[in-house]
Each structure stands twice: as structure tokens, then as C-alpha cells.
């Protein structure tokens, strides 16, 4: 089977599965799955840059996705004037002090010519003083902000710009954090890098859960503005009413499908742009250099390639793509819920997508994003059906049968684990294996 038929076959199979769901369950569900498939594909593309091109084990996908989500809030929500008046200045000052402290520490660490003991003593002193000032400024401002209508706002709000800008801003946020973490942890052993990224993602989510002045914490931000029309607008417009009539569906049904389709179109555009750019980069000399570094770091180093520098570059790029996807996800949900960021769902599921799709192959990552998200959603009905089939011989009130049927939703985790292990073992290069130029051309 050639690569081309494989690609066509795999994507047709995916389309067929979506169609089956459409006929068997509902078209609205298909579009909902499709939208999340598109977002998952973008996340997988981002991780594929890091793992597939460069061999970096980023265990912090969740954190970058959450940063993107925070960006959606910060960009789109209108500013809360009372909160800014109450504590905006204090917060800004505190953040400036924070930045100044970090800058001073960096200056001392890199520039001060003195013995290690003196350097670290100075750094500790700067950190302590900076921290005290930071807390002195921050705490009263935070209290003041959170006292402003706590049931409705109680946070600074955002910039009140169209939410679509947040996709870029989310990418920038993620890139910024990736730069910091990459500077610290890249160049260390691969395991250490994995654990460092795991840690930073937990911290990012902890910050988003607890800093109520920023994103309302666990109180969530609801009703984010949309980049697409609202259902009610569609329903009231005579133009769309006409279309709905000619299609033979009710206006309500049409409006819901139409809105979802608008999202799909937006996401598809972003996916295509990122895919095009990734493909370009991968086939450019830059991409060949990345793969050379991945396959033999020592040799690439000997050829004069700056391995850590290139790793930093690709880590930032990949994280930015994940940040963009995170912002898109929050846009689609219309609300920001920090508690929904779970490592299994956001970090390791994306890993399964990349590995199953084919590490190093961009089309593979897209396919993996589709396949795995589809199974993540459909595992529940499949698991339920399997359990009912297995237990069909038992009495209806059998305790074991009830327990098995009740636990069916957890089948999805087991299925994901098994899929990952099977692919890794028997087809380590994934469904669509990486194509190098020699064999492709």
C-alpha cells in the first residue's frame, strides 16, 4: 500500500465514521465532534513539532492550552472599570516589581562576576525583598478588586476586543512561558525536561484557579463574546429563515447547525494555515536540520548546529500553536473553566493523538487528532454497548452487571491506554509514518 492510498484511505474512513454518527445519532453531534477534532488536530500539530521534529517530551500541553484559554478571557471580556479604579494601579505596580525582580536576578546570575556564594546570596536577598514588596502591593489591591460585585465580576476584566484576537495573544502567551521554561530546562536530560514541563503546567493551572482578580478563578468566566452570530440572530433573520425552509428543517435546528458550521469554517482556516506553515518548515532546510538533530544530536552538534538553541526555537513554536488551540477551545466553549484542565485530557490525550497519527508527520497528527478525539467521545456509547453485550446473560438487577454498566464511561481511559500501547508496540511509526524526502520524492 503506498503512502498516498494510505492517506486517502485513512481520511475517508474518518469521514465515513463521522457520517455514520450523523445518520445514527445526530448531525448536531457530528459538528460538535468535528469542531473539537479540528482543535485537537491543531494541538497535535503543535506537539508534533516538539516531539515529532525534535524529540522533546513536553508533558505540559495542558498548561499551554490553559494559557490560551486565559488569553481568550483577557482579550475579549470588557474591562471592569470599578475594579480597575479599586486596585488596577496596585496590581500593575506589583507586576512591574515582579518583572524588575526577575530582571535583577537574571542580571546578577549572568553578569555579576563574583564567587558562587556571593551570587546566590545576592539573588536570595533580591528575591526576598522583591517578594515582600510584591505581596505588600498585591494583597490589598486583590482584596479591593475581588470586593467589586463578587457574584458578577470581582476581577479586572479584559480588553474588550474581539475574541478572535485572543487566538494570536494565546499563542504569544504560550510562547513567552515556553521561552522561560525552555531556557531553564532544555539542555538537561530528556526526563528532567518532561518533569519540568509537567510541573510548569500544574503551576499555570493553579495560578488560573486561584488568582481571582485575573480570571475569576474557579468562579469561571461565562458568556464570552463570540466570533460568530448567535443562534437567536440567525432565527430572527428572514434570510436564514428562507434557507431553512428550502432545506426543510426547522429554524431552530438550522440556526444551531449554522453556528457550529461557522465555527468549523474558522477552525478549518486556522488548521490549514498552521498545517501549510508546518509542512513548509518541515521540508525546508530548517526541518531537515531539526530531524538531523533529533536523530543524532552529537553528529548535528559536530556539524556546528546549536542543538539547545534549535530545541528552544521549536519548543516555543510548538507551544505557541498549542496556545492558539487553547484559545480556540475556550472561544468555542464560550466560557473559561480552570477546573476543566486535567492532565489526562489535555496533555496525555494529545500525546496519544501524535503517537497514533504518526510522530513527525503533520498529516498524521491531524488524522490522530480526528481519530482519537472521535474515539474519546464515542468510547462512551461503545463501552456501554460492549458492557450491555457482555452482561446480557445476567439478570437485570445483578450487582456486577449494574456496576459494569455504570462504569462504562471509564472504558475510554482503558481504551486510550491500550490504543497507545498497541500502536507503540506494533506500529511504532503510527498510522501515517513519517516521510523523508528521499522516499517521498
Partner 1 sequence: MDLLNALVVLANFIIVPALAYGSQLALGALGVTLVYGILRFSNFAHGETMSAGAMFAILFMWLFQSWGISIAPLPTVLVALIPAMICMIIYLLVCDRLVYRHYRRQKAKPVIFLVASTGLMFFTNGIIRFIIGPDEQRVADGARFVMKAREFKNMTGLNEGLAIKSSQVITVITAIVIVAALFWFLERTKSGKSMRAYSDNENLALLSGINPDRVVMIAWTLTAVLATIAGTLYGLDKSYKPFTYLQLLLPVFASAIVGGLGSPIGAIAGGFVIAFSEVTITYAFKKFLTYLVPESWAPEGLVQLLSTDYKFAVSFAILVVVLIVMPTGIFKGKSL
Nearest to 322 by CA among 8, 56, 95: 56
Angle at 20 between CA 378 and CA 433, to 5 degrees: 70
Residue 399's CB is within 10 A of a number of other CB atoms, namely 9
Q: How far is the CB of 4 from partner 1 (least distance, A)?
A: 28
Residue with cell 523523508: 436
311 to 350: interface string for partner 1, x by CB under 8 A: -------------------------------xxx---x--
Distance from C-alpha of 359 to C-alpha of 364, rounded to nearest angstrom: 7
Say whether residue 192 binds partner 1 (CB under 8 A). Answer: yes
Say whether residue 110 binds partner 1 (CB under 8 A). Answer: no
* Whether 29 contacts 21, CB under 8 Å: yes
Helix, strand, coil percentages, rounded to 5, for the chain: 80, 0, 20
Residue with cell 490504543: 419
Q: How far is the CB of 199 from partner 1 (least distance, A)?
A: 4
Q: How far is the CB of 100 from partner 1 (least distance, A)?
A: 19
Say whether residue 206 binds partner 1 (CB under 8 A). Answer: yes
Q: How far is the CB of 195 from partner 1 (least distance, A)?
A: 5
* Whether 368 contacts 359, CB under 8 Å: no
Residue 64's CB is within 10 A of a number of other CB atoms, namely 36
Which residues, listed in sequence order, are joined to residue 336 by a DSSP beta bridge?
221
**Smaller CB distance to partner 1: residue 11 or 375?**
375
Say whether residue 186 binds partner 1 (CB under 8 A). Answer: no
Q: How far is the CB of 136 from partner 1 (least distance, A)?
A: 10
116 to 155: interface string for partner 1, x by CB under 8 A: ----x----------x-------x----------------
Check residue 394 and report its DSSP letter. S
What are the grid coordinates assigned to 42, written together? Answer: 491543531
**Smaller CB distance to partner 1: residue 51 or 254?**
51
Residue with cell 522561560: 180
Q: How far is the CB of 311 from partner 1 (least distance, A)?
A: 13
* Whether 316 contacts 308, CB under 8 Å: no
Question: Which residue from 198, 243, 292, 384 is in contact with partner 1, where contact means CB under 8 A?
Answer: 198
- Interface positions, 353-412, toward partner 1 (CB under 8 A): 355, 407, 410-412
Binding site for partner 1 (CB under 8 A): 55, 57, 59, 120, 131, 139, 184-185, 188-192, 194-196, 198-200, 202-203, 206-207, 209-210, 342-344, 348, 351-352, 355, 407, 410-418, 420-421, 424-425, 428
Amino acid at each position: 500500500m503506498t503512502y498516498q492510498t494510505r492517506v486517502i484511505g485513512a481520511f475517508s474512513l474518518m469521514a465515513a465514521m463521522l457520517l455514520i454518527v450523523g445518520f445514527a445519532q445526530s448531525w448536531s453531534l457530528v459538528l460538535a465532534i468535528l469542531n473539537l477534532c479540528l482543535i485537537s488536530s491543531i494541538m497535535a500539530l503543535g506537539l508534533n513539532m516538539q516531539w515529532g521534529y525534535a524529540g522533546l517530551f513536553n508533558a505540559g500541553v495542558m498548561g499551554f492550552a490553559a494559557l490560551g484559554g486565559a488569553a481568550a478571557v483577557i482579550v475579549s471580556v470588557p474591562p471592569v472599570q470599578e475594579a480597575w479604579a479599586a486596585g488596577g494601579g496596585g496590581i500593575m505596580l506589583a507586576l512591574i516589581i515582579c518583572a524588575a525582580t526577575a530582571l535583577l536576578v537574571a542580571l546578577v546570575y549572568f553578569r555579576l562576576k563574583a564567587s558562587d556564594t556571593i551570587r546566590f546570596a545576592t539573588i536570595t536577598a533580591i528575591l526576598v525583598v522583591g517578594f515582600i514588596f510584591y505581596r505588600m502591593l498585591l494583597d490589598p489591591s486583590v482584596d479591593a478588586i475581588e470586593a467589586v460585585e463578587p457574584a458578577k465580576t470581582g476581577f479586572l476584566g479584559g480588553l474588550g476586543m474581539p475574541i478572535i484576537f485572543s487566538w494570536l495573544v494565546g499563542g504569544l502567551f504560550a510562547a513567552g512561558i515556553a521561552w522561560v521554561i525552555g531556557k531553564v530546562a532544555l539542555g538537561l536530560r530528556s526526563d528532567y525536561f518532561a518533569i519540568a514541563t509537567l510541573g510548569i503546567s500544574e503551576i499555570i493551572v493553579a495560578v488560573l484557579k486561584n488568582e481571582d482578580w485575573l480570571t475569576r478563578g474557579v468562579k469561571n468566566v461565562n458568556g464570552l463574546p463570540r466570533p460568530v452570530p448567535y443562534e437567536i440572530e440567525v432565527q430572527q433573520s428572514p434570510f436564514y429563515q428562507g434557507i431553512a425552509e428550502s432545506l426543510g428543517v426547522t429554524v431552530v435546528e438550522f440556526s444551531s447547525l449554522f453556528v457550529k458550521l461557522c465555527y468549523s469554517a474558522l477552525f478549518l482556516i486556522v488548521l490549514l494555515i498552521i498545517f501549510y506553515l508546518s509542512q513548509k518548515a518541515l521540508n525546508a532546510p530548517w526541518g531537515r536540520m531539526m530531524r538531523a538533530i533529533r536523530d543524532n544530536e552529537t553528529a548535528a552538534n559536530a556539524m556546528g548546529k546549536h542543538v539547545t538553541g534549535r530545541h528552544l526555537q521549536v519548543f516555543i513554536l510548538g507551544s505557541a500553536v498549542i496556545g492558539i488551540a487553547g484559545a480556540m477551545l475556550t472561544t468555542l466553549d464560550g466560557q473559561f473553566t480552570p477546573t476543566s484542565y486535567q492532565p489526562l485530557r489535555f496533555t496525555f490525550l494529545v500525546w496519544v493523538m501524535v503517537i497514533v497519527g504518526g510522530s513527525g508527520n503533520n498529516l498524521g497528527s491531524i488524522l490522530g487528532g480526528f481519530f482519537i478525539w472521535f474515539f474519546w467521545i464515542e468510547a462512551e456509547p461503545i463501552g456501554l454497548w460492549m458492557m450491555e453485550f457482555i452482561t446480557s446473560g445476567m439478570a437485570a438487577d445483578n450487582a456486577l452487571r449494574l456496576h459494569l454498566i455504570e462504569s462504562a464511561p471509564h472504558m475510554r481511559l482503558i481504551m486510550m491506554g491500550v490504543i497507545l500501547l498497541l500502536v507503540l508496540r506494533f506500529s511504532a511509526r503510527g498510522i501515517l509514518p513519517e516521510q523523508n524526502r528521499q522516499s517521498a520524492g
